[in-house]
Every structure is written in structure tokens, then in C-alpha cells.
């Protein structure tokens, strides 16, 4: 399957290029591409098809009835609308301020593009801006509005944003500390990895045990604070915070270990030279360590972002998405209706997620990652 034509273009490799050498690029990349193609493209297209249809179980197999965009219509406009988008309210002053800031910066980007670049680039950026502005409005009108209530879409984005930010910062901090020549650091390194090793479902149940304020380990603390009549699980934000704590606990190790490996892999001479020159540790971090780990960081954030958008186990086990719809994420929602045999609807949610994440990931790759000078 010659989907990819390749040409080796290595500056210094002009010497003698044998036949196998010319084939090398293909040999390196094709196995991966073929395996992914084999396993991914068929489900991808089939589930797109499922999202446009309704499944019925009949004698001798499945009856697939094509319903066009009906599954999407139900989600975006029908009974399910409130689950997905939440309840929109009039944004507060703060909400408007955020909206205004985003609108202004997008305007600036488009203005700059308009002066320098082609029509295609302008249209692309306009479209991206419209989607971004829409998402910002949704956030402002649900999270930053007294009357509003976030739906699964915004809740998912909230988990992703807060989770990744904190995981990255904590992971980086711990990695920097662990990279120091401290006695006993090996102990910390292994300990810090542990949460990642537990099956996600196990982490969910572990946190359900810990968060039980009646028979869990925090019960005495809870009573000492005079909160025996307060249940975090009754409160929308209490429940969301519980989910986020679990998520941070579980996934900080991922950030930690990759960043640690990146810090340890960096070259030592510049650091030594800087120390000899009398640079402070913050300067060393900013000018030497940070640039060295930035490429890995951007990758890390992208991978974690894609994974984090699929968050399901923690909300599913801690609260089943409750109270009400407060902690429900897109994937959990898709899973719940999938179990109830609404396979088309579930596929439609998955595709909405696919569009959203692809959009955000592309935006991220185009703006941040490429600007930071990686491929």
C-alpha cells in the first residue's frame, strides 16, 4: 500500500545511497502506519456510519436504519440539549470580561493575518475564531453566570483545563526536585509513579473509599471541621472538585516521569557553566532547563489533553455523573446511553467529542507547538 511516498533528504547523506538505504524511511514508518490504519480506520468510518443510524436487534443480526443527522439533532436541539450544553444564563460581569478579552485577542489575530497572509489563511482563522468564541460564550454563560449551569461539554473541558494545568505544574515541580542529587531520591521517584500503575477503575473505587465521609479515613477530620451534615457529593462543585483531585492524583505521575526523563537527558555542561558564572537556580531553569524540556512538555500536554477529554472512570465510580448532571463528562454520557442500547446516539456524542478535540488539538499544535520550534 503506497499511501506514502517518501524521499530521504538528509543533508550529509549524499555519500553513497544504496537501495536498502533508500527504502529505509518506508521500512521505519510503514509498520506503524499499517497497524494503525488496520485497527483505526475501519472503526472510525463504521462508527461515523453508526452515528448516522439507529440500530435494532432483529432475528439473525442487526438491523441498521439510516436516520441521517437525527442522532445529532436530538443531542444538539432535542431533549438532550440541556445535558450537553447545560443551562445558559446571562454571564456575570466577569463572564463578559472574559468574553471581551477573547474576542479582542481573536480580532487582533485576524487583523494581523489579514495584513500579511492569503485569503485561505484568513478564512481558516475566521472559522477557528468563530468556534472559539462560541465555546468561550458557552463557558461564560454556564460557569460564570449566576443562572447558568454547565453541561457535559463544559464540565469535560473544565476537568481537562484544571487537571492538566495542575498536573503539569505539580509534575514539573516534583521532577525538578527529584532531579537534584538528593540522597534517597530513588525512593521518591518510584513512589511518585505508583498512582499511574493502578487500573483507572481501581483508582475510582479507591477514591470512593477515601471520600466516604461516614466510614472513610477522613471521617474524624470531617467531624472536627463540623461538617458531618455536609456531603461533598450533594454539592455540584464539591463533587467536581472530588473528581479533579482524583484525576490529579492519578495522572501527575505521567507528567512527572516524562519531565524527569527529559530533565535528566539534558546536557550538563551549560548548567555547570551557568553555575560557574554565578547564575541563580531560577535563571538556570528559565534559560537552560525550560527550553530543553519544552518540546517534550508540549507533546506531553497534547497527549494528556487527548486522554483527559475521555475521562470516565472517576466520575462514573465516584458519583455516576451526579448530583444531577454536575460531574457528567461526554464519554461517561456516551457510555451510559450506549449501555442502554442507544448506540447511534452514543456514536454521535463520540463524534462531537472527536470534532471538539481535533479542533482544540489542531489549534494547540498550530499555535503553541509549532511556535516553540518543534516539528
Of residues 349, 354, 353, the one with CA closest to residue 335: 349
C-alpha span between 79 and 81 (Å, rounded): 6
Q: Between 107 and 291, name the residue whose CB sits nearer to another protein.
A: 291
C-alpha span between 34 and 4 (Å, rounded): 11
SS3 181: coil
For the record, the C-alpha cell of 114 comes out as 489579514
Q: Between 79 and 118, name the residue whose CB sits nearer to another protein.
A: 79
C-alpha span between 169 and 261 (Å, rounded): 16
Write down the least CB distance from residue 360 to another protein, Å. Answer: 10
Q: Between 8 and 127, name the residue whose CB sits nearer to another protein.
A: 8
Q: Between 68 and 229, name the residue whose CB sits nearer to another protein.
A: 229
Write down the least CB distance from residue 196 to another protein, Å. Answer: 6
Q: Between 102 and 253, name the residue whose CB sits nearer to another protein.
A: 253
Write down the least CB distance from residue 218 to another protein, Å. Answer: 8
Q: Between 95 and 151, name the residue whose CB sits nearer to another protein.
A: 151
Write down the least CB distance from residue 69 to another protein, Å. Answer: 15
For the record, the C-alpha cell of 167 comes out as 498536573
Write down the least CB distance from residue 353 to another protein, Å. Answer: 7
Q: What angle do CA 358, 359, 364 make, to 5 degrees?
A: 95
Burial of 212 (0-12, 13-18, 19+ CB in 10 A): middle
Of residues 175, 171, 106, 173, the one with CA closest to residue 134: 106
Write down the least CB distance from residue 79 to another protein, Å. Answer: 6
Of residues 319, 313, 172, 168, the one with CA closest to residue 248: 168
Q: Between 126 and 302, name the residue whose CB sits nearer to another protein.
A: 302
Kindly provide the residue ranges of all beta strands, DSSP E only, lying in 146-262, ordered along the sequence.
149-150
Burial of 266 (0-12, 13-18, 19+ CB in 10 A): middle
Write down the least CB distance from residue 104 to another protein, Å. Answer: 29
Amino acid at each position: 500500500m503506497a499511501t506514502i511516498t517518501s524521499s530521504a533528504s538528509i543533508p550529509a547523506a549524499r555519500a553513497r545511497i544504496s537501495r536498502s538505504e533508500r527504502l529505509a524511511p518506508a521500512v521505519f514508518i510503514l509498520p506503524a502506519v499499517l497497524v494503525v490504519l488496520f485497527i483505526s480506520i475501519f472503526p472510525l468510518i463504521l462508527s461515523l456510519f453508526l452515528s448516522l443510524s439507529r440500530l435494532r436487534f432483529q432475528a439473525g443480526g442487526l438491523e441498521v436504519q439510516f436516520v441521517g443527522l437525527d442522532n445529532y439533532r436530538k443531542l444538539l436541539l432535542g431533549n438532550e440539549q440541556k445535558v450537553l450544553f447545560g443551562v445558559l444564563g446571562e454571564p456575570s460581569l466577569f463572564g463578559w470580561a472574559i468574553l471581551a478579552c477573547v474576542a479582542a485577542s481573536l480580532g487582533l489575530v485576524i487583523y494581523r493575518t489579514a495584513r500579511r497572509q492569503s485569503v485561505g489563511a484568513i478564512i481558516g482563522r475566521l472559522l477557528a475564531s468563530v468556534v472559539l468564541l462560541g465555546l468561550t460564550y458557552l463557558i461564560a454563560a454556564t460557569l460564570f453566570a449566576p443562572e447558568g449551569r454547565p453541561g457535559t461539554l463544559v464540565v469535560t473541558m473544565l476537568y481537562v483545563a484544571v487537571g492538566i494545568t495542575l498536573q503539569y505544574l505539580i509534575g514539573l515541580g516534583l521532577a525538578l526536585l527529584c532531579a537534584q542529587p538528593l540522597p534517597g531520591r530513588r525512593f521518591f521517584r518510584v513512589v511518585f509513579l505508583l498512582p499511574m500503575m493502578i487500573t483507572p477503575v481501581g483508582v475510582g473505587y479507591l477514591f470512593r473509599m477515601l471520600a466516604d465521609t461516614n466510614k472513610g479515613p477522613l471521617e474524624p477530620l470531617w467531624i472536627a471541621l463540623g461538617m458531618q451534615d455536609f456531603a461533598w457529593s450533594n454539592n455540584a462543585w464539591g463533587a467536581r472538585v472530588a473528581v479533579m483531585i482524583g484525576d490529579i492524583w492519578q495522572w501527575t505521575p505521567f507528567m512527572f516521569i516524562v519531565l524527569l526523563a527529559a530533565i535528566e537527558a539534558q546536557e550538563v555542561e551549560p548548567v555547570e557553566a551557568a553555575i560557574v558564572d554565578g547564575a541563580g537556580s531560577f535563571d538556570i531553569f528559565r534559560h537552560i532547563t525550560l527550553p530543553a524540556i519544552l518540546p517534550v512538555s508540549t507533546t506531553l500536554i497534547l497527549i494528556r489533553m487527548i486522554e483527559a477529554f475521555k475521562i470516565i472512570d472517576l466520575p462514573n465510580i465516584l458519583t455516576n455523573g451526579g448530583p444531577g448532571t454536575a460531574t457528567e463528562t461526554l464519554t461517561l454520557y456516551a457510555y451510559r446511553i450506549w449501555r442502554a442500547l442507544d448506540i447511534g446516539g452514543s456514536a454521535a456524542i463520540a463524534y462531537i467529542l472527536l470534532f471538539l478535540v481535533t479542533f482544540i488539538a489542531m489549534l494547540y499544535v498550530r499555535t503553541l507547538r509549532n511556535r516553540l520550534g518543534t516539528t
